[in-house]
A and B are shown apart, each in its own frame.
Chain A
Amino acid sequence: MRVILVDDSRAMRMILRRIVGQLGFEIMEAEDGQAALEAVTNSENVPDLALIDWNMPRMNGLELVCALRDDPRTRDMTLVMVTTEGEQSQIVRALAAGAHEYVIKPFTSDSMVEKLALLGLVPNEAENAQTGA
């Protein structure tokens, strides 16, 4: 499975990279919505999943979600917002625009894996991995 990580923060891309890397995803990255859109539409294999930040230069995450849902080539991608925008109305906006799920920062690795499991994107063994004391 392929994922594209879209966030202008290098630190956040690295955090996400570690999590999805362990789940066996092939990873693409982009620093803003515009770069992500170009990478995805120019790619031979459209990613299955996109983890998208909201506040980015050139094209923000909400605009990217709209663009991806509008294009028949990318319409079937699973879109998950990963953002600090935590107001109820913002979540409603993102879901209405076509995002499938929403993760508010900060998030633990476990909770990100659980969200992806909710979307059917995680193989069973990873899902059942326990964290212990």
Chain B
Amino acid sequence: MTLQTAPTIEDLGEIAEQVWSSYLDPEGVNPLLPFEPGDSEKTRTRGESICASVSITGAWHGHVVVSCSALAGRHAAAALLAMEVPEVAQQDVVDALGELANIVGGNVKSTLPAVCMISLPHVISGVGVDSHWPAATQVCELVGEWLNEPVSISVWQSRSDRAEAAS
């Protein structure tokens, strides 16, 4: 049986708000500011970026991706690991973004009607890296700005899931 329901952008907004207020912006002074749906072009980062994802399997198949600029990644690592931004090393960014993808992905997974499994996070970084899933379609994406840097949270569903659902 394939589930036909999928997470919504409202779910992503709620999840992001809670992750930010718990770890990245506890004082509530530097929130993630969502863009309007038409502004997603603003997130196409020129320059170095990070992309952290988890995969969900079971009754629902797909991926949850958190991506942002390298600078946003360093800020995230600084916030999570209680460091100053200049002290942050690349491994810190990888660990921090991986955990953020894990938390966002886990919360997305919990919105699904049946209990699914979540993979370990997978993090890639480099110039112009972007989430690209040939066998999946994007279900929804939350894009916004944090500390003037672009951030994207997206959910992708496997094509085979959607084909089954349609048949």
Contacts and interface: CB of A to CB of B under 8 A. Distances in A.
Interface stretch (A44-52, A64-72, A78-86, A94-102): A78-86
User: Looking at chain A, what size class is its interface with the partner chain?
Assistant: 20 to 34
A106 B99 contact: no
Interface string B113-133: 001001010000000000000
Contacts, number: 60
24 contacts: A8-B120, A9-B95, A10-B95, A11-B81, A11-B96, A11-B98, A11-B99, A12-B99, A14-B81, A15-B23, A55-B120, A84-B102, A84-B103, A84-B105, A84-B118, A86-B109, A90-B115, A104-B110, A105-B102, A105-B103, A105-B107, A106-B18, A108-B21, A108-B22
B144 interface: no
Given A11-B95, A84-B118, A106 B22 contact: yes
Given A15-B23, A106-B23, A106-B103, 10 more contacts: A9-B99, A11-B96, A12-B99, A55-B118, A83-B106, A84-B106, A85-B106, A86-B109, A87-B110, A104-B110
Interface string B8-39: 00000000001101110010000000000000
Interface residues of B, number: 24
